[in-house]
Amino acid sequence: MNHLPGVPAPLGRVIEMLSSLPGVGPKTAMRLGLNLLSRPASDASQLAEALICLHEQVGFCDVCGCFAEQGRCQFCDDVRRDASTVCLVEQPVDVLMMERGQGYRGSYHVLHGRLSPIDGMGPDQLNLEPLDRRIGNQDDGDIAELILATSATVDGEATAHYLANRYQSCEVKVSRIARGVPEGGELEYLDEHTLSRAMDQRILWDAAV
């Protein structure tokens, strides 16, 4: 991508950066780069400013690990949500997908990954310490149920097993979202109706299975 015949170096750099994004191939990156070039310079400036603000102003919630502009996210600050129920998901984008279903009004906890030895992801790399504190802190709204909403992949199932074993000695009910989530599926790519049905049909975790 560094040597595109006839492409000026600045445009080639933009195409190279765009093609590094997931799901964006060289041809799509080329079309996007040419489109940006054809727009007014003010549009490019606004895009650049938005990207800078993205890193400067958006981080992760101190409590649950979801997207947040400051210390706490909108879900943790919403007193209308049920703090006694915590849904565990792999990535912040999974929270957004769950919210599209409009069938869950509890709180969340984002793991920021799933167990995957091949990728070097072990328990220490998961966002579990804040969850341990939430479960142990009786002043932060007693947690009565943990809902395991990890993906229905091999790594997702392994993560669910680990979490169930980790918290089985705590005085909390551990459940798993129902099999409305297809085997091998990713939450990010499911429709809101499937996710809502899976949440409604969640079952208690059986560690013996």
- What pLDDT, in 10s, does the model give residues 128-164? 999 998 888 755 458 899 999 999 888 999 999 999 9
pTM above 0.85, yes or no: no
Overall CATH class of domain 77-204: alpha beta
Residue 29 is predicted with a pLDDT of 93
Start and end residues for every CATH 1.10.8.420 domain found in the chain: 9-57
DSSP state of 182: P
* Residue spans in the chain of domains classed CATH 3.40.1360.10: 77-204
pLDDT of residue 55: 87
CB of 202 within 8 A of CB of 175?
A: yes
Sign for the pseudo-dihedral over CA of 74, 77, 82, 88: positive
Rounded CA-CA distance 111/89 in Å is 6
- Rounded to an integer, what distance in angstroms lies between the CA atom of residue 39 and that of residue 54? 22
Pairing relation of β-strands 145-148 and 82-89? parallel
Residue 2's pLDDT is: 53
CATH of the structural domain 9-57, one choice from 1.20.1050.10, 1.10.8.420, 1.20.58.1690, 3.50.50.60 = 1.10.8.420
Percent above pLDDT 90 for the chain: 58
- One-letter amino acid for residue 68 of the chain: A
